[in-house]
A and B are shown apart, each in its own frame.
Chain A
Amino acid sequence: MTTEFRGGVQVRNLTWTPFASSKPLLNNITFSINAGERVLLVGPSGSGKSTLLRAIAGVLQDTESGGMAGSIETGSSGLLLQDPNDSIVAPTLLREVAFGPENAGLPREAILNLVESTLASVQIDKPLQASSTDLSGGEMQRVALAGVVALRPNLLLLDEPTSMLDSSSALAVRQTVIATLKASQQTLIVAEHRFDGWVADLDRILVLDHDGQLAFDGMPSQILAEHRNELLDLGVWIPGEPATAAKPIKLAEGEFTCGSITVFTGNSGAGKTTELNRLIRADRNSETILTGVGFVPQQPELTILGNTVFESANFTARLAAQGLGIDAEESEQHTRRLLDLAGLSALESQNPYEISGGEQRRLALATALAHNPMSVYLDEPTVGQDRSAWASVVGLIVAAREAGMNVFIASHDQDLIALADRVIKIQPEIAMFRPPAVSKVSGLAILAAPIILLIGSMGIVSTKAGLASVVAIAAAWLILTMAGLKFKAPKLLIAPVVGVLSIGLSNWYLSRGLQLETGLTAALRVASFVFPGVFLATALRPYRLGDQLAQTLKLPARPVIAAMVAMERIGFFTGMWSQLQFIHNIRGVTAHRSPLARIRSAFWMTFTLLVQAIRSAGTTAVAMDARCFSKSTGRRTWAEQANWRQLDLLLITLSAVVAAVPFLVR
């Protein structure tokens, strides 16, 4: 039987009801797909397209909570997700593409061959040690695709693979997918809202409706022609159908003539977002508490503040009303009207984190307009919206122009660009190839050395021993520098300096008899392991450390890998943290500069960051499990070997010598 399903899919009476939901998201779905068929999956937002793909990939029950009924039979599959930022798991191209083969336990030579041939097949022509994230959006998605097809799955599942890309990057991804299919006879199921580019290469279309039922199944040309009106009612984007005219709405009374819409466009990764952020910073008048600026970032959830949809939308408007002496009730009514126009009035008292992604985007837009700003900045406001949601988003944008606002948008959406008064094309800066910093010393040595020094510090019981230790550290430093180990200055040197000083001071004046020597000795003792540790930490590379923990120390592979994948995201989350600070600044949260306002702001920033982290982790777990992370049978292999090198031995030996010094001169 199994050979029959090589690439084929048989779904019978599949029903999935998410936890705490009263109605099924997938409702009694039955279909079968033959090996080699190419299928398009469409339906409105929230109709369960992603869920269906995850169910077929066999990762749904391991990553979400809910009740499943029915059956799915299929062969090996690969799943590509919408945002490569969630699916990329390794810092270099080599390790990214090797992730699946490593989990499958292939031998090292075979992995290297697979990685090279797969990268060539997705037209990525860069060194294997090049960064997997320092790429344009389209390149990143092709690298993610390489990671998915490296194991040569019989069935390829793509979940909105091009929705975040500009038209030329999207074309490159589509061409790569089609070329891969021609070479391998794989089966394809692709879910996409704007599927114009795909439709010519596909044999069949499946349409899900609002109730999670399979509404239509057949040849694309036939279904699109025969059920045109039903599909439009469902909010499906039909190729060649002009986008729905935005609903005519009015945000304010009176005649305004100075409003405008400016769209910044350009290839994915060309710097549209950077340009938008630069403009906001220039526009914002730091003197006024409530800036005349509204902002919707690419991740609209970052603008959430407060426990209900209404509270979040009204937050800045309330502050603005206070500042201008406007009646609070009047501003509340205005906010309610905006929520109504955004189609959110039924959700006013809901928890803003609980509503869907599309609803959060519309909430963020209503929020940005609620305090009647002079200008509004929108980063990709129409990404991933079905046709009906698109209409209400664009309706609000047009209404903002009519109300006299200047609207600045970063977007690659051609239908939105068509409405603009001005279009500015951003030219990409020439991307520089920056090799990821490969550390000369291993992570284990970096962690072990300061701990050896910590043991040595126990011997520092006099100032003399402390000074001897300082001399020994300086000598070791010199030797390491001559051996080729260069140290970078840590980012926050001030923190350890203050820490060591405060230890010295407090040990001095809280000691018996207030002896100066006591404080000095304490400071030297702590400094002897803190400063070397702080400098060494700058040479730490998480993924390399992971290789050593798993290969050299034989720690269990899965927890080590998950930890390293997470650690590689540090830059992503620090970026999100500064984005949150920026948004809170714009929204007036920290405007009063009072300690209370700051604590409140820190609280919401932390909470929002953690919610985003958990959601991103859920998607990453899907991407990893779809690449055999949890189902790896037998032993995992590693594409690169973790070695102890001479510099590691030197570092450890020197640390041991330095640690012995205070015991010898006490």
Chain B
Amino acid sequence: MSNNVSNKIKVNWRGIDLVTAAILAVALGVAFWGFDTLVYPFLGLITAGFPPVGELVLGIWIIPAVAGALLVRRPGAAIYMELIAANVELLLGNTWGVTVLVSALLQAIGVEIIFLIFRYRRFTFGVAALGGMLSAILEICLYEWWSYVPDYTPLFKAIFLVCGVISGAFVAGGGAFWLIRGLGKTGALNAFAAGREASAK
């Protein structure tokens, strides 16, 4: 579409941008909540012996932020979707209570910074992965090290961080990139540039 040629960062949200981002975030929140019974007990068993490895699933919770930026392509979309998804977890019952909103904000800011560096004009796997990585770094270095694992030794803190960053790149970045492309191929996202690019193939 010709309007993509413009150099300006888009800031005006259409009604459908807002409503789709919000409802998609709610549906993602519901799905994550649904995984709780399928995936979580299983993961708990695996990581019980060495908890830092549990950080390899961190990326799942960052998917809404990266997906928001990839779909809406406007500043604030990552924060918007991540905060809504976090609120859904909160309402359905989650592990960390209201403080999940603090995590969500830190994670989403990481994603926004990367997409801002690329002026909200590059939406490749690489950018998505970088977004997921910075998101994990902010979440772990500014929040989880201090409130969850302050008494780990530096080595374990480092392992914790590396696991989180790997997950940010592949689970959050790769997952969201693949998700938006897959959804776009169904034609459901044709009202969005991201969807039109995927469905035109």
Contacts and interface: CB of A to CB of B under 8 A. Distances in A.
Interface of A: 18-20, 62-65, 351, 353-354, 446-447, 449-451, 454, 457-458, 490-493, 495-496, 498-499, 502-503, 505-508, 510-512, 518-519, 521-522, 525-526, 529-534, 536-537, 540, 542, 558-559, 562-563, 565-567, 569-570, 573-574, 577, 581, 595, 598, 602, 605-607, 609-618, 620-621, 624-625, 629-630
Given A559-B80, A566-B25, A573-B30, A451 B102 contact: yes
B117 interface: no
Given A559-B13, A567-B26, A621 B99 contact: no
Given A510-B153, A540-B90, A615-B188, A563 B80 contact: yes
Given A18-B190, A529-B99, A565 B30 contact: no
A570 B30 contact: yes
B97 A530 contact: yes
Contact of A617 (B19, B30, B90): B19
User: 7 tightest CB-CB pairs across the interface, nearest first?
Assistant: A533-B97, A613-B27, A566-B22, A353-B186, A492-B93, A562-B18, A450-B98
Contact of B191 (A63, A522, A526, A565): A63
Given A567-B84, A606-B31, A351 B151 contact: no
B163 interface: no
B152 interface: yes
Contacts of A610: 24, 27-28, 31, 179, 183
Given A507-B152, A620-B19, 12 more contacts: A353-B186, A512-B153, A526-B148, A558-B15, A566-B22, A609-B30, A610-B183, A613-B23, A613-B26, A614-B23, A617-B24, A624-B15
Contacts of A581: 34
A567 B30 CA distance: 10
Interface in B89-137: 90-99, 101-102
Contacts of A595: 42
Interface of B: 13-16, 18-31, 33-36, 38-39, 42, 44, 48, 51-52, 76, 80, 83-84, 87-88, 90-99, 101-102, 146-153, 156, 179, 182-183, 185-192, 195-196, 199-200
B181 to A, nearest CB: 12
Contact of B149 (A493, A506, A606, A625): A506
Contacts of A447: 98, 101
Contacts of B36: 492, 495
Contacts of B101: 447, 451
B183 A614 contact: yes
B139 to A, nearest CB: 15
A492 B35 CA distance: 13
Contacts of B188: 353, 611, 614-615, 618
7 contacts: A65-B192, A354-B186, A511-B151, A529-B99, A569-B26, A577-B34, A614-B23
B20 A618 contact: yes
Contacts of A624: 15, 19
A358 to B, nearest CB: 16
A454 to B, nearest CB: 5
Nearest to B187: A354
A165 B60 CA distance: 41
Nearest to B143: A454
Contacts of B44: 498, 502
Interface centre among B22, B48, B101 (most CB of A within 10 A): B22
Contacts of B97: 450, 496, 529-534, 536-537
A530 B25 CA distance: 23
Interface of chain A, main secondary structure: helix
A565 B84 CA distance: 11
A577 to B, nearest CB: 5
B23 to A, nearest CB: 4
Contacts of B199: 19-20
A612 B39 CA distance: 23
B30 to A, nearest CB: 4
B153 A630 contact: no
Nearest to A623: B19
Contact of A573 (B27, B95, B150, B200): B27
Given A64-B191, A495-B93, A495-B94, A502 B27 contact: no
A602 to B, nearest CB: 5
B61 to A, nearest CB: 14
B51 A565 contact: no
A563 B98 contact: no
Contacts of A537: 90-91, 93, 97-98
Contacts of B92: 491-492, 570, 574
A581 B30 CA distance: 13
Nearest to B179: A610
A609 B16 CA distance: 18
B99 A492 contact: no
A486 B31 CA distance: 30
Contact of B26 (A526, A573, A621): A573
A151 B16 CA distance: 22
A57 to B, nearest CB: 13
A518 B21 CA distance: 42
A82 B179 CA distance: 29
A573 B102 CA distance: 25
B20 A614 contact: yes
A611 B183 contact: yes
A621 B191 CA distance: 11
A511 B25 contact: no
B185 to A, nearest CB: 7
A454 B147 contact: yes
A612 B183 CA distance: 10
A466 to B, nearest CB: 13
Contact of A558 (B13, B20, B191, B192): B13
B91 A540 contact: yes
A577 B84 CA distance: 18
Contacts of A598: 38
A362 B106 CA distance: 46
A613 B29 CA distance: 12
Contacts of A606: 31, 34
Contacts of B182: 607
B87 A507 contact: no
Contact of B91 (A570, A620, A629): A570
Given A617-B23, A618-B191, A559 B98 contact: no
Nearest to A580: B34
A611 B16 CA distance: 15
Contacts of A629: 15
Nearest to A525: B147
